[in-house]
Structure 1
Protein backbone atom coordinates (compact mmCIF):
# COMPACT_ATOMS: atom_id res chain seq x y z
CA UNK A 1 0.00 0.00 0.00
CA UNK A 2 1.39 3.38 -0.97
CA UNK A 3 0.72 6.49 1.12
CA UNK A 4 1.25 10.04 0.04
CA UNK A 5 1.86 13.15 2.11
CA UNK A 6 0.15 16.38 1.26
CA UNK A 7 2.63 18.99 0.05
CA UNK A 8 3.73 21.51 2.64
CA UNK A 9 2.84 25.09 1.85
CA UNK A 10 5.97 27.22 1.90
CA UNK A 11 5.25 30.91 2.35
CA UNK A 12 7.18 33.70 0.66
CA UNK A 13 8.47 37.01 2.00
CA UNK A 14 6.36 38.92 -0.50
CA UNK A 15 3.25 36.92 0.35
CA UNK A 16 3.71 37.53 4.08
CA UNK A 17 4.27 41.26 3.52
CA UNK A 18 1.04 41.41 1.54
CA UNK A 19 -0.89 39.64 4.29
CA UNK A 20 0.54 42.00 6.92
CA UNK A 21 -0.52 45.02 4.91
CA UNK A 22 -4.00 43.56 4.40
CA UNK A 23 -4.26 42.97 8.14
CA UNK A 24 -3.75 46.71 8.67
CA UNK A 25 -0.09 47.15 9.54
CA UNK A 26 0.67 50.87 9.22
CA UNK A 27 3.33 51.80 6.70
CA UNK A 28 5.87 54.09 8.35
CA UNK A 29 4.57 53.16 11.79
CA UNK A 30 6.03 51.56 14.91
CA UNK A 31 5.28 47.89 15.55
CA UNK A 32 5.83 45.65 18.59
CA UNK A 33 5.82 41.97 17.59
CA UNK A 34 5.34 38.76 19.54
CA UNK A 35 5.84 35.79 17.24
CA UNK A 36 5.54 32.03 16.99
CA UNK A 37 7.52 30.84 13.99
CA UNK A 38 5.96 27.42 14.36
CA UNK A 39 2.51 28.96 13.90
CA UNK A 40 3.64 30.94 10.85
CA UNK A 41 4.80 27.72 9.20
CA UNK A 42 7.54 27.09 6.62
CA UNK A 43 8.86 30.22 4.93
CA UNK A 44 11.30 30.40 2.05
CA UNK A 45 14.31 32.08 3.62
CA UNK A 46 13.27 31.17 7.16
CA UNK A 47 12.99 33.62 10.03
CA UNK A 48 15.09 36.24 8.24
CA UNK A 49 12.47 36.35 5.49
CA UNK A 50 9.77 36.93 8.12
CA UNK A 51 11.73 39.84 9.56
CA UNK A 52 12.16 41.09 5.99
CA UNK A 53 8.42 40.84 5.37
CA UNK A 54 7.68 42.84 8.51
CA UNK A 55 10.12 45.55 7.45
CA UNK A 56 8.77 45.53 3.90
CA UNK A 57 5.24 46.10 5.19
CA UNK A 58 6.44 48.85 7.57
CA UNK A 59 8.39 50.57 4.81
CA UNK A 60 11.71 52.42 5.05
CA UNK A 61 10.42 54.82 7.71
CA UNK A 62 8.95 52.13 9.93
CA UNK A 63 10.31 50.79 13.22
CA UNK A 64 10.22 47.15 14.30
CA UNK A 65 10.40 46.33 18.05
CA UNK A 66 10.65 43.00 19.89
CA UNK A 67 11.05 41.94 23.53
CA UNK A 68 14.53 40.61 24.28
CA UNK A 69 14.00 39.54 27.89
CA UNK A 70 16.63 37.60 29.86
CA UNK A 71 15.27 35.63 32.84
CA UNK A 72 18.39 33.44 32.80
CA UNK A 73 20.44 35.89 34.91
CA UNK A 74 17.98 36.16 37.82
CA UNK A 75 17.53 33.99 40.92
CA UNK A 76 14.07 35.41 41.67
CA UNK A 77 12.51 34.36 38.36
CA UNK A 78 10.22 31.38 37.64
CA UNK A 79 12.89 30.34 35.10
CA UNK A 80 15.45 29.97 37.92
CA UNK A 81 13.04 28.20 40.26
CA UNK A 82 12.28 25.66 37.55
CA UNK A 83 15.98 25.18 36.80
CA UNK A 84 17.00 24.47 40.42
CA UNK A 85 13.95 22.46 41.50
CA UNK A 86 15.19 19.33 43.28
CA UNK A 87 18.82 20.47 43.51
CA UNK A 88 20.84 20.59 46.72
CA UNK A 89 21.96 23.89 48.25
CA UNK A 90 25.46 23.36 46.87
CA UNK A 91 24.10 22.65 43.40
CA UNK A 92 21.93 25.76 43.55
CA UNK A 93 24.94 27.88 44.47
CA UNK A 94 26.80 26.41 41.51
CA UNK A 95 23.95 27.44 39.22
CA UNK A 96 23.97 30.97 40.64
CA UNK A 97 27.73 31.20 40.25
CA UNK A 98 27.46 30.19 36.60
CA UNK A 99 24.92 32.89 35.68
CA UNK A 100 26.51 35.44 33.33
CA UNK A 101 25.92 39.15 34.02
CA UNK A 102 23.66 40.95 31.59
CA UNK A 103 25.37 42.63 28.65
CA UNK A 104 23.04 44.40 26.19
CA UNK A 105 25.50 43.76 23.38
CA UNK A 106 25.90 40.01 23.87
CA UNK A 107 23.29 38.49 26.21
CA UNK A 108 21.03 36.16 24.25
CA UNK A 109 17.25 36.26 24.68
CA UNK A 110 16.62 32.63 23.81
CA UNK A 111 13.31 32.39 25.69
CA UNK A 112 11.83 35.08 23.41
CA UNK A 113 11.95 32.96 20.28
CA UNK A 114 13.72 32.97 16.94
CA UNK A 115 12.19 36.11 15.49
CA UNK A 116 13.12 38.26 18.48
CA UNK A 117 16.68 36.96 18.43
CA UNK A 118 16.96 37.59 14.71
CA UNK A 119 15.87 41.19 15.16
CA UNK A 120 18.26 41.67 18.09
CA UNK A 121 21.19 40.38 16.03
CA UNK A 122 20.34 42.36 12.89
CA UNK A 123 22.68 45.08 11.63
CA UNK A 124 21.62 48.41 13.04
CA UNK A 125 19.49 46.99 15.87
CA UNK A 126 19.55 48.84 19.20
CA UNK A 127 18.72 47.35 22.58
CA UNK A 128 17.56 48.90 25.85
CA UNK A 129 19.65 48.50 28.99
CA UNK A 130 17.32 46.79 31.45
CA UNK A 131 19.05 43.62 32.75
CA UNK A 132 15.80 41.60 32.73
CA UNK A 133 13.25 43.08 30.32
CA UNK A 134 15.16 44.76 27.51
CA UNK A 135 13.70 45.47 24.07
CA UNK A 136 15.44 45.47 20.68
CA UNK A 137 14.45 47.80 17.86
CA UNK A 138 15.23 48.30 14.17
CA UNK A 139 14.34 51.37 12.17
CA UNK A 140 13.96 55.13 12.17
CA UNK A 141 12.70 55.56 15.75
CA UNK A 142 14.65 52.73 17.36
CA UNK A 143 16.87 55.02 19.45
CA UNK A 144 13.85 56.86 20.84
CA UNK A 145 12.17 53.55 21.71
CA UNK A 146 15.05 51.99 23.65
CA UNK A 147 16.61 55.08 25.30
CA UNK A 148 16.25 55.71 29.02
CA UNK A 149 15.12 52.25 30.13
CA UNK A 150 15.71 52.50 33.85
CA UNK A 151 17.14 49.40 35.50
CA UNK A 152 14.53 49.49 38.28
CA UNK A 153 11.57 49.83 35.90
CA UNK A 154 10.74 46.64 34.03
CA UNK A 155 7.80 47.69 31.89
CA UNK A 156 6.52 50.99 33.25
CA UNK A 157 6.85 54.70 32.54
CA UNK A 158 10.64 54.55 32.16
CA UNK A 159 10.58 51.64 29.72
CA UNK A 160 10.17 51.19 25.95
CA UNK A 161 6.51 50.27 26.50
CA UNK A 162 5.74 53.83 27.59
CA UNK A 163 7.63 55.18 24.56
CA UNK A 164 5.62 52.87 22.32
CA UNK A 165 2.43 54.19 23.91
CA UNK A 166 3.54 57.77 23.13
CA UNK A 167 4.39 56.80 19.54
CA UNK A 168 0.96 55.22 18.96
CA UNK A 169 2.56 51.91 18.11
CA UNK A 170 0.70 48.84 16.92
CA UNK A 171 1.04 45.36 18.42
CA UNK A 172 1.18 42.25 16.25
CA UNK A 173 0.52 38.89 17.88
CA UNK A 174 2.01 36.80 15.08
CA UNK A 175 0.48 33.40 15.78
CA UNK A 176 0.54 33.97 19.56
CA UNK A 177 -2.20 34.50 22.13
CA UNK A 178 -3.00 37.39 24.44
CA UNK A 179 -1.32 35.52 27.28
CA UNK A 180 1.99 36.72 25.80
CA UNK A 181 0.89 40.35 25.35
CA UNK A 182 3.62 42.40 27.05
CA UNK A 183 1.75 45.66 26.45
CA UNK A 184 -0.79 44.77 29.15
CA UNK A 185 1.99 45.06 31.75
CA UNK A 186 2.13 48.82 31.26
CA UNK A 187 -1.50 48.81 32.37
CA UNK A 188 -0.36 47.19 35.64
CA UNK A 189 1.80 50.23 36.37
CA UNK A 190 -1.11 52.56 35.73
CA UNK A 191 -3.58 51.16 38.26
CA UNK A 192 -3.78 52.85 41.69
CA UNK A 193 -1.13 51.58 44.13
CA UNK A 194 0.01 48.47 42.22
CA UNK A 195 1.57 45.75 44.38
CA UNK A 196 5.36 45.68 44.45
CA UNK A 197 8.04 43.07 45.09
CA UNK A 198 11.81 42.62 45.11
CA UNK A 199 13.79 41.30 42.14
CA UNK A 200 17.42 40.21 41.93
CA UNK A 201 19.73 39.57 38.99
CA UNK A 202 23.39 39.48 37.96
CA UNK A 203 24.83 42.64 36.41
CA UNK A 204 28.27 43.98 35.56
CA UNK A 205 29.32 47.18 37.33
CA UNK A 206 32.75 48.70 36.80
CA UNK A 207 33.86 45.53 35.06
CA UNK A 208 32.86 43.36 38.01
CA UNK A 209 30.11 40.73 38.21
CA UNK A 210 27.70 41.36 41.06
CA UNK A 211 24.18 40.68 42.26
CA UNK A 212 21.77 43.59 42.25
CA UNK A 213 18.42 43.71 44.09
CA UNK A 214 15.71 46.23 43.36
CA UNK A 215 12.00 46.83 43.94
CA UNK A 216 9.44 47.19 41.16
CA UNK A 217 5.80 46.48 40.36
CA UNK A 218 4.85 42.83 40.87
CA UNK A 219 4.21 41.68 37.31
CA UNK A 220 1.46 39.11 36.80
CA UNK A 221 0.39 37.74 33.43
CA UNK A 222 -1.81 34.91 34.73
CA UNK A 223 -5.06 36.58 33.60
CA UNK A 224 -3.86 38.15 30.35
CA UNK A 225 -5.65 35.60 28.16
CA UNK A 226 -9.01 36.58 29.71
CA UNK A 227 -8.09 40.27 29.64
CA UNK A 228 -7.22 39.94 25.96
CA UNK A 229 -10.48 38.25 25.08
CA UNK A 230 -12.42 41.06 26.77
CA UNK A 231 -10.29 43.64 24.97
CA UNK A 232 -11.00 41.95 21.63
CA UNK A 233 -14.73 42.28 22.30
CA UNK A 234 -14.48 45.97 23.16
CA UNK A 235 -15.70 48.72 20.84
CA UNK A 236 -18.13 46.30 19.26
CA UNK A 237 -15.35 43.88 18.39
CA UNK A 238 -13.38 46.44 16.37
CA UNK A 239 -10.40 46.88 18.73
CA UNK A 240 -8.51 43.89 17.31
CA UNK A 241 -8.07 42.92 13.67
CA UNK A 242 -7.62 39.20 13.03
CA UNK A 243 -6.37 37.53 9.88
CA UNK A 244 -3.97 35.03 8.32
CA UNK A 245 -0.22 35.61 8.20
CA UNK A 246 1.45 32.55 6.75
CA UNK A 247 -0.22 29.56 8.35
CA UNK A 248 -1.02 31.51 11.52
CA UNK A 249 -4.06 33.37 12.72
CA UNK A 250 -2.65 36.69 13.87
CA UNK A 251 -3.96 39.74 15.72
CA UNK A 252 -3.17 43.42 15.23
CA UNK A 253 -4.23 46.28 17.49
CA UNK A 254 -3.20 49.67 18.84
CA UNK A 255 -0.88 49.41 21.84
CA UNK A 256 -2.31 52.53 23.49
CA UNK A 257 -5.84 51.14 23.30
CA UNK A 258 -4.72 47.83 24.82
CA UNK A 259 -2.85 49.52 27.67
CA UNK A 260 -5.68 51.92 28.42
CA UNK A 261 -8.20 49.07 28.41
CA UNK A 262 -5.98 47.02 30.75
CA UNK A 263 -5.59 49.90 33.20
CA UNK A 264 -9.41 50.07 33.47
CA UNK A 265 -9.98 46.30 33.47
CA UNK A 266 -7.41 45.21 36.05
CA UNK A 267 -8.74 47.02 39.15
CA UNK A 268 -12.19 45.49 38.72
CA UNK A 269 -11.06 41.96 37.83
CA UNK A 270 -8.19 41.29 40.21
CA UNK A 271 -9.14 40.60 43.79
CA UNK A 272 -7.18 42.89 46.09
CA UNK A 273 -5.34 45.05 43.58
CA UNK A 274 -3.60 46.66 46.55
CA UNK A 275 -2.69 43.25 47.97
CA UNK A 276 -0.22 40.53 46.98
CA UNK A 277 -0.08 39.64 43.29
CA UNK A 278 -0.72 36.13 42.13
CA UNK A 279 2.24 34.14 40.80
CA UNK A 280 2.82 34.06 37.07
CA UNK A 281 0.69 31.62 35.17
CA UNK A 282 2.43 31.70 31.79
CA UNK A 283 5.82 32.62 30.37
CA UNK A 284 8.60 32.29 33.00
CA UNK A 285 10.30 35.53 32.04
CA UNK A 286 10.20 38.28 34.61
CA UNK A 287 12.82 38.13 37.32
Structure 2
Protein backbone atom coordinates (compact mmCIF):
# COMPACT_ATOMS: atom_id res chain seq x y z
CA UNK A 1 0.00 0.00 0.00
CA UNK A 2 1.44 3.36 -1.06
CA UNK A 3 1.22 6.31 1.31
CA UNK A 4 1.59 10.07 1.20
CA UNK A 5 5.19 9.72 2.40
CA UNK A 6 6.17 7.08 -0.16
CA UNK A 7 4.59 9.02 -3.03
CA UNK A 8 6.39 12.22 -2.03
CA UNK A 9 9.65 10.28 -1.88
CA UNK A 10 8.98 8.82 -5.34
CA UNK A 11 8.29 12.28 -6.78
CA UNK A 12 11.48 13.70 -5.27
CA UNK A 13 13.50 10.72 -6.49
CA UNK A 14 12.24 11.33 -10.01
CA UNK A 15 13.45 14.92 -9.77
CA UNK A 16 10.30 16.94 -9.06
CA UNK A 17 11.29 20.16 -7.27
CA UNK A 18 9.41 22.31 -4.76
CA UNK A 19 9.42 25.33 -7.09
CA UNK A 20 8.45 23.48 -10.28
CA UNK A 21 5.72 24.61 -12.62
CA UNK A 22 4.37 21.09 -13.06
CA UNK A 23 1.58 19.83 -15.31
CA UNK A 24 0.48 16.26 -14.59
CA UNK A 25 -1.17 13.80 -16.98
CA UNK A 26 -2.25 10.89 -14.81
CA UNK A 27 -3.80 7.46 -14.41
CA UNK A 28 -4.94 6.73 -10.87
CA UNK A 29 -5.39 3.06 -11.73
CA UNK A 30 -1.73 2.76 -12.77
CA UNK A 31 -0.49 4.12 -9.43
CA UNK A 32 -1.99 1.17 -7.56
CA UNK A 33 -3.44 1.01 -4.04
CA UNK A 34 -2.92 4.22 -2.05
CA UNK A 35 -3.83 4.82 1.56
CA UNK A 36 -6.47 7.53 1.35
CA UNK A 37 -7.01 7.02 -2.38
CA UNK A 38 -6.84 9.73 -5.02
CA UNK A 39 -6.90 12.57 -2.49
CA UNK A 40 -3.61 11.33 -1.05
CA UNK A 41 -2.05 11.40 -4.53
CA UNK A 42 -3.17 15.01 -4.94
CA UNK A 43 -1.85 15.86 -1.47
CA UNK A 44 1.52 14.39 -2.43
CA UNK A 45 1.65 16.33 -5.72
CA UNK A 46 0.78 19.61 -4.00
CA UNK A 47 3.40 18.98 -1.32
CA UNK A 48 6.05 18.11 -3.90
CA UNK A 49 5.64 21.51 -5.64
CA UNK A 50 4.69 23.50 -2.53
CA UNK A 51 6.53 26.63 -3.70
CA UNK A 52 5.62 26.23 -7.35
CA UNK A 53 2.54 25.74 -9.51
CA UNK A 54 0.59 22.49 -9.87
CA UNK A 55 -1.56 22.04 -12.99
CA UNK A 56 -3.85 19.22 -14.11
CA UNK A 57 -5.89 19.01 -17.33
CA UNK A 58 -9.66 19.22 -16.84
CA UNK A 59 -10.70 18.81 -20.46
CA UNK A 60 -14.31 18.73 -21.60
CA UNK A 61 -14.10 17.76 -25.26
CA UNK A 62 -16.22 14.59 -25.01
CA UNK A 63 -19.61 14.68 -26.70
CA UNK A 64 -21.42 14.39 -23.36
CA UNK A 65 -19.69 17.52 -22.06
CA UNK A 66 -21.02 21.08 -22.30
CA UNK A 67 -24.76 20.56 -22.64
CA UNK A 68 -26.21 23.06 -25.12
CA UNK A 69 -22.59 23.98 -25.96
CA UNK A 70 -22.30 25.94 -22.71
CA UNK A 71 -19.18 25.45 -20.58
CA UNK A 72 -19.63 26.19 -16.89
CA UNK A 73 -16.18 25.86 -15.26
CA UNK A 74 -17.72 25.47 -11.80
CA UNK A 75 -19.81 22.40 -12.63
CA UNK A 76 -18.71 20.77 -15.88
CA UNK A 77 -16.98 17.42 -15.15
CA UNK A 78 -13.65 16.61 -16.73
CA UNK A 79 -13.36 13.73 -19.18
CA UNK A 80 -9.66 12.99 -18.61
CA UNK A 81 -9.40 11.13 -15.32
CA UNK A 82 -10.38 11.10 -11.69
CA UNK A 83 -7.38 13.08 -10.40
CA UNK A 84 -8.16 16.12 -12.51
CA UNK A 85 -11.85 15.89 -11.65
CA UNK A 86 -11.16 15.81 -7.91
CA UNK A 87 -8.44 18.44 -8.17
CA UNK A 88 -10.69 21.05 -9.81
CA UNK A 89 -13.04 20.87 -6.80
CA UNK A 90 -10.32 21.46 -4.19
CA UNK A 91 -10.27 24.67 -2.15
CA UNK A 92 -8.04 27.28 -3.74
CA UNK A 93 -7.87 25.59 -7.14
CA UNK A 94 -8.58 27.82 -10.15
CA UNK A 95 -9.89 26.48 -13.46
CA UNK A 96 -9.24 28.13 -16.80
CA UNK A 97 -12.18 29.12 -19.00
CA UNK A 98 -11.34 27.14 -22.12
CA UNK A 99 -14.52 25.36 -23.24
CA UNK A 100 -12.81 22.12 -24.33
CA UNK A 101 -9.20 22.13 -23.05
CA UNK A 102 -9.31 23.74 -19.62
CA UNK A 103 -6.58 23.37 -17.01
CA UNK A 104 -6.94 23.59 -13.23
CA UNK A 105 -4.14 24.94 -11.06
CA UNK A 106 -3.03 26.03 -7.63
CA UNK A 107 0.10 27.79 -6.44
CA UNK A 108 2.42 30.53 -7.64
CA UNK A 109 0.78 32.88 -10.18
CA UNK A 110 -2.02 30.39 -10.88
CA UNK A 111 -4.56 33.11 -11.57
CA UNK A 112 -2.46 34.91 -14.17
CA UNK A 113 -1.25 31.66 -15.74
CA UNK A 114 -4.82 30.44 -16.28
CA UNK A 115 -6.33 33.78 -17.33
CA UNK A 116 -7.69 34.71 -20.74
CA UNK A 117 -8.78 31.36 -22.15
CA UNK A 118 -12.21 32.76 -23.00
CA UNK A 119 -10.48 34.67 -25.81
CA UNK A 120 -9.05 31.58 -27.52
CA UNK A 121 -10.38 30.20 -30.79
CA UNK A 122 -8.41 26.93 -30.94
CA UNK A 123 -7.76 24.20 -28.35
CA UNK A 124 -4.10 24.96 -27.55
CA UNK A 125 -2.94 28.32 -28.95
CA UNK A 126 0.52 29.75 -28.35
CA UNK A 127 -0.90 32.66 -26.34
CA UNK A 128 -2.97 30.41 -24.07
CA UNK A 129 -2.22 28.17 -21.09
CA UNK A 130 -0.64 25.42 -23.13
CA UNK A 131 1.74 27.88 -24.76
CA UNK A 132 2.62 29.39 -21.37
CA UNK A 133 4.08 26.05 -20.31
CA UNK A 134 6.91 26.87 -22.73
CA UNK A 135 7.32 30.40 -21.39
CA UNK A 136 7.64 29.41 -17.72
CA UNK A 137 9.98 26.45 -18.33
CA UNK A 138 7.33 24.09 -17.01
CA UNK A 139 7.80 20.38 -16.59
CA UNK A 140 5.24 17.79 -17.64
CA UNK A 141 4.80 14.61 -15.62
CA UNK A 142 3.25 11.55 -17.22
CA UNK A 143 2.13 9.70 -14.11
CA UNK A 144 1.04 6.30 -15.38
CA UNK A 145 -0.21 8.02 -18.53
CA UNK A 146 1.41 7.37 -21.93
CA UNK A 147 2.97 10.15 -23.98
CA UNK A 148 0.11 9.93 -26.46
CA UNK A 149 -1.81 11.98 -23.86
CA UNK A 150 0.67 14.84 -24.40
CA UNK A 151 -1.71 17.74 -25.11
CA UNK A 152 1.30 20.09 -25.15
CA UNK A 153 2.35 18.60 -28.50
CA UNK A 154 -1.03 19.56 -29.96
CA UNK A 155 -0.06 23.08 -28.96
CA UNK A 156 3.35 22.83 -30.64
CA UNK A 157 1.65 21.69 -33.85
CA UNK A 158 -0.70 24.69 -33.60
CA UNK A 159 2.17 27.18 -33.16
CA UNK A 160 3.95 25.80 -36.20
CA UNK A 161 0.74 25.86 -38.24
CA UNK A 162 1.09 22.22 -39.22
CA UNK A 163 -1.58 21.67 -41.89
CA UNK A 164 -4.59 19.41 -41.39
CA UNK A 165 -4.72 19.67 -37.59
CA UNK A 166 -7.75 21.93 -37.05
CA UNK A 167 -11.30 21.94 -38.35
CA UNK A 168 -12.00 24.41 -41.12
CA UNK A 169 -15.26 25.54 -39.50
CA UNK A 170 -15.72 26.73 -35.95
CA UNK A 171 -18.00 25.02 -33.43
CA UNK A 172 -20.07 27.36 -31.31
CA UNK A 173 -19.36 27.35 -27.57
CA UNK A 174 -20.41 29.72 -24.84
CA UNK A 175 -18.79 30.10 -21.43
CA UNK A 176 -20.76 30.84 -18.28
CA UNK A 177 -18.87 33.44 -16.27
CA UNK A 178 -18.93 33.79 -12.48
CA UNK A 179 -21.70 36.40 -12.67
CA UNK A 180 -23.89 34.02 -14.69
CA UNK A 181 -23.51 35.82 -18.00
CA UNK A 182 -22.51 33.98 -21.17
CA UNK A 183 -19.63 34.86 -23.49
CA UNK A 184 -19.20 33.47 -27.00
CA UNK A 185 -16.08 31.34 -27.55
CA UNK A 186 -16.24 29.55 -30.95
CA UNK A 187 -13.55 26.91 -31.45
CA UNK A 188 -11.76 25.47 -34.45
CA UNK A 189 -11.46 22.05 -32.89
CA UNK A 190 -8.77 19.40 -33.39
CA UNK A 191 -9.35 17.49 -36.60
CA UNK A 192 -7.15 15.64 -39.08
CA UNK A 193 -7.98 13.65 -42.17
CA UNK A 194 -5.39 11.16 -40.88
CA UNK A 195 -7.34 10.47 -37.67
CA UNK A 196 -6.01 10.98 -34.16
CA UNK A 197 -2.38 11.97 -34.71
CA UNK A 198 -1.77 12.06 -30.94
CA UNK A 199 -1.70 8.26 -31.01
CA UNK A 200 1.78 8.66 -32.55
CA UNK A 201 3.17 11.25 -30.11
CA UNK A 202 4.99 8.55 -28.14
CA UNK A 203 7.36 7.94 -31.06
CA UNK A 204 9.52 10.85 -29.81
CA UNK A 205 9.86 9.40 -26.29
CA UNK A 206 13.08 7.37 -26.86
CA UNK A 207 14.83 10.47 -28.19
CA UNK A 208 13.58 12.61 -25.29
CA UNK A 209 15.00 10.08 -22.82
CA UNK A 210 18.27 9.62 -24.72
CA UNK A 211 19.08 13.34 -24.80
CA UNK A 212 18.05 14.04 -21.20
CA UNK A 213 14.94 16.08 -21.97
CA UNK A 214 12.96 13.40 -20.15
CA UNK A 215 13.72 11.03 -17.32
CA UNK A 216 11.79 7.98 -16.18
CA UNK A 217 11.10 6.34 -12.85
CA UNK A 218 8.24 4.97 -10.78
CA UNK A 219 5.64 6.66 -8.62
CA UNK A 220 3.72 4.04 -6.71
CA UNK A 221 3.23 1.20 -9.19
CA UNK A 222 3.11 3.56 -12.15
CA UNK A 223 5.79 4.21 -14.71
CA UNK A 224 6.45 7.94 -14.65
CA UNK A 225 8.15 10.16 -17.22
CA UNK A 226 9.14 13.75 -16.35
CA UNK A 227 9.72 16.02 -19.36
CA UNK A 228 11.10 19.53 -19.79
CA UNK A 229 8.41 21.36 -21.79
CA UNK A 230 10.66 24.01 -23.37
CA UNK A 231 13.27 21.56 -24.64
CA UNK A 232 10.64 19.04 -25.74
CA UNK A 233 8.90 21.70 -27.83
CA UNK A 234 12.18 22.75 -29.43
CA UNK A 235 13.10 19.17 -30.34
CA UNK A 236 9.66 18.28 -31.68
CA UNK A 237 9.59 21.58 -33.55
CA UNK A 238 12.79 20.62 -35.37
CA UNK A 239 11.21 17.34 -36.49
CA UNK A 240 8.00 19.01 -37.63
CA UNK A 241 9.78 21.74 -39.58
CA UNK A 242 11.70 19.07 -41.49
CA UNK A 243 8.68 16.82 -41.87
CA UNK A 244 5.17 18.13 -41.11
CA UNK A 245 3.98 14.50 -41.32
CA UNK A 246 6.29 13.37 -38.53
CA UNK A 247 3.37 12.22 -36.37
CA UNK A 248 1.40 10.59 -39.18
- TM normalised by structure 2 equals 0.85
Shift of 1:215: 3.4
Shift of 1:261: 2.0
- Asked if the contact 1:231/1:239 (under 8 Å) is kept, the reply is no
- Tell which deviates more after alignment, 163-172 or 143-152: 143-152
The whole-number CA distance in structure 2 between the counterparts of 1:49 and 1:133 is 25
The whole-number CA distance in structure 2 between the counterparts of 1:242 and 1:45 is 25
* Residue in structure 2 matched with residue 215 of structure 1 by the alignment: 188
- Asked if the contact 2:94/2:105 (under 8 Å) is kept, the reply is yes
1:34 aligns with 2:3: no
The whole-number CA distance in structure 1 between the counterparts of 2:93 and 2:18 is 19
* Residue in structure 2 matched with residue 203 of structure 1 by the alignment: 174
Distance 1:237 1:157, change over 3 A: closer
Indicate which of 242, 264, 278 corresponds to 2:238. 264
Q: Structure 1: where are the runs of 5+ without partners? A: 1-9, 73-78, 84-95, 279-287
Deviation by residue 1:116-170 (Cα, 9 ceiling, x = unmatched): 0111111011111111111110112211220122231321122111112111110
* Residue in structure 1 matched with residue 207 of structure 2 by the alignment: 233
The whole-number CA distance in structure 1 between the counterparts of 2:206 and 2:21 is 21
Indicate which of 74, 88, 113 corresponds to 1:105. 74
Distance 1:227 1:132, change over 3 A: closer
The whole-number CA distance in structure 2 between the counterparts of 1:144 and 1:17 is 27
- Asked if the contact 1:199/1:214 (under 8 Å) is kept, the reply is yes
* Residue in structure 2 matched with residue 4 of structure 1 by the alignment: none
Aligned residues: 242
* Residue in structure 2 matched with residue 57 of structure 1 by the alignment: 48
- Asked if the contact 1:131/1:201 (under 8 Å) is kept, the reply is no
* Residue in structure 2 matched with residue 88 of structure 1 by the alignment: none
SS state at 1:215 partner: coil
Deviation by residue 1:26-54 (Cα, 9 ceiling, x = unmatched): 21111000000000011001111000111
What does residue range 1-287 of structure 1 map to in structure 2 within 5 Å? 10-59=1-50, 61-72=51-62, 79=63, 99=68, 101-109=70-78, 111-149=79-117, 150-192=119-161, 194-195=163-164, 196-197=166-167, 198-204=169-175, 213-215=186-188, 218=191, 222-224=196-198, 226-234=200-208, 236-271=210-245
Deviation by residue 1:83-130 (Cα, 9 ceiling, x = unmatched): 9xxxxxxxxxxxx9x546211122111x11111011111101111111
* Residue in structure 2 matched with residue 75 of structure 1 by the alignment: none
Distance 1:235 1:53, change over 3 A: closer
The whole-number CA distance in structure 2 between the counterparts of 1:140 and 1:20 is 19
RMSD: 3.0
Instruction: Select the structure of larger CA radius of gyration.
Output: 1
